[in-house]
Amino acid sequence: MQYTAYFFRIYPTDKQKELFVKTFGCARSIYNKMLADKIEHYKQTKKMLKNTPAQYKKKFPYFKEVDSLALANAQFHLEGAFSNFFQNPKFGFPNFKSKKNSRRSYTTNIVNNNIELKNGKLKLPKAGLVRVKQHREVPEGYILKAVTVSQKGSGKFYASILFEYEEEITNKEPKSFLGMDYSMHDLYVDSEGNKGEYERFYRKSEQKLKREQRKLSLMKKGSRNRAKQRIKVAKVHEKIANCRKDFMQKKSRQIANVYDCVCIENLDMKGMSQSLNFGKSVHDNAFGKFIEMLSYKLQRQGKYLVEVDKFYPSSQLCSVCGYQNKETKDLSLREWICPHCGTRHDRDINAAVNLLKEGKRLLLNQIKKNRGALGDSLL
């Protein structure tokens, strides 16, 4: 079974908006109360407390006014956070959710046909029918499983609808390969000399955003004008995010449709954003998000995304003769001539070609290994 989600904007009535906002608050509140009780119980007994939302409804009757599955999912998320922490401490200990900083959302599941998408309406528990902008059709055979209702900083409401469908993905025999090297300004440079031509949406809107944020900073906290200005700032951020997402969806689709295997370097994007004053540029092009989109598009077609180790000297190796020129460690050196064979290299294109060769080698070795294991099992 496979899973996919469709993201639609919804247009609730004033009464439905009030219910959604109340549900956001209750989901956040039950999460915090359960987390606080777990911490206190562990301090006293050194054991993990097994608590559920039902235990809080008598003391806090307002929990009964919202969808019970939203509260159950808040419990599920808390347990998942603890599970991640105990399996790998790098995830960090679960934090309390803030009213101001946390994402405003809740998730509900389908039980006895309580959720339905039909004729431009989305049926939700407690809320009833909500008008939805369904910009794409859901294929036949897709089974609705869950819905996440969220609200952006601009005040707009959205529904992410999760579907389950049955499809057997058969891995293709890789014939067309592409190497892709990260580029700060163009998003990427590939082994064929093409660039991502990313439009740097944040940089284009930076001055407008600066003006709106300056106005917001001068307004009195708690005033109506400040609330209106906050929405204006949120709309600028939302437009930047939407433009970036649209660009990356289209670009990743183009690549996934043409190539059977894409080879990239396994970079630490968070580390790059925190060093050398590259923060804004790294966050602007969102290369990590682009790779995520490309990965699932390739995977759904039975194609491959190969990650080459970040310590592989892709920029130092001559893609023609294999000579390693350690002088190219200087990032300001954009072109260099191989002292061994005399070939003139563009730094990024040369790195992309080397990533292509190494990624292709890794993939073909893995395929041979898998086929050998299959042969052994058949014997």
Mean pLDDT of 6-31: 96
Q: What mean pLDDT value characterizes the chain? A: 90
Contacts of 106 (CB under 8 A, 6+ apart): 20, 23, 24, 27, 67, 70, 73, 74, 148, 149
Contacts of 150 (CB under 8 A, 6+ apart): 103, 104, 105, 157, 158, 159, 160
Could you tell me what percent of the chain has a pLDDT over 90? 65
State residue 373's pLDDT score.
Answer: 59
pLDDT above 50: residue 118: yes
State residue 35's pLDDT score.
Answer: 95
pLDDT above 60: residue 134: yes
pTM of this structure: 0.84
State residue 276's pLDDT score.
Answer: 62
State residue 46's pLDDT score.
Answer: 86
Catalytic residue among 260, 284, 348, 358: 348
Strands 261-265 and 177-183: parallel
Catalytic residue among 67, 260, 265, 284: 265
pLDDT bucket at 161, cuts 50 / 70 / 90: very high
Catalytic residue among 181, 260, 284, 358: 181
Model confidence pLDDT, tens digit, residues 214-248: 999 999 998 999 999 999 999 999 999 999 999 99
State residue 375's pLDDT score.
Answer: 45
pLDDT bucket at 379, cuts 50 / 70 / 90: very low
- Cα Rg, the chain, nearest whole Å: 25
State residue 280's pLDDT score.
Answer: 77
Q: Please choose, from the candidates 34, 25, 40, 78, the residue with its C-alpha nearest in 3D space to the C-alpha of residue 54.
A: 34
Q: Identify the residue with better confidence: 27 or 276.
A: 27
State residue 338's pLDDT score.
Answer: 87
HSE-CB for 199 with a 13 A CA cutoff? 13
Model confidence pLDDT, tens digit, residues 171-215: 888 999 999 999 888 899 999 999 998 888 999 999 999 999 999
pLDDT bucket at 68, cuts 50 / 70 / 90: very high
CB-CB contact of 104 with 24 (8 Å): yes
Q: Residue with structure tokens 């700032």? A: 233
CB-CB contact of 143 with 164 (8 Å): yes
Mean pLDDT of 78-88: 91
Contacts of 142 (CB under 8 A, 6+ apart): 4, 163, 164, 165
Query: Is 181 designated active site?
Result: yes
The DSSP string of 44-75 is HHSS-----GGGGTTT-GGGGGS-HHHHHHHH
Model confidence pLDDT, tens digit, residues 296-351: 999 999 999 999 998 898 888 888 888 888 877 777 778 888 888 888 888 889 99
Q: Using the CB atoms, write b or e for 33-44: b if 16+ within 10 Å.
A: bbbeebeeeeee
Long-range CB contact pairs, 141-148, < 8 A, 24+: 141/165, 141/166, 142/4, 144/110, 144/115, 144/116, 144/117, 145/3, 145/109, 145/110, 146/107, 146/108, 146/109, 146/110, 146/115, 147/107, 147/108, 147/110, 147/115, 147/122, 148/105, 148/106, 148/107, 148/108
pLDDT above 80: residue 271: no
State residue 150's pLDDT score.
Answer: 96
Highest mean pLDDT of the ranges 9-13, 118-122, 172-176: 9-13
Count Cβ atoms below 10 Å from residue 133 Cβ, excluding itself.
11
State residue 320's pLDDT score.
Answer: 87
* Tokens representing residue 269 in the block: 């994007």
pLDDT above 50: residue 128: yes
CB-CB contact of 251 with 196 (8 Å): yes
Mean pLDDT of 256-275: 86
Query: Is 18 designated active site?
Result: no
State residue 368's pLDDT score.
Answer: 86
CB-CB contact of 94 with 83 (8 Å): no
Count Cβ atoms below 10 Å from residue 352 Cβ, excluding itself.
30
Mean pLDDT of 43-69: 93
State residue 378's pLDDT score.
Answer: 32
Q: Identify the residue with better confidence: 170 or 305.
A: 305
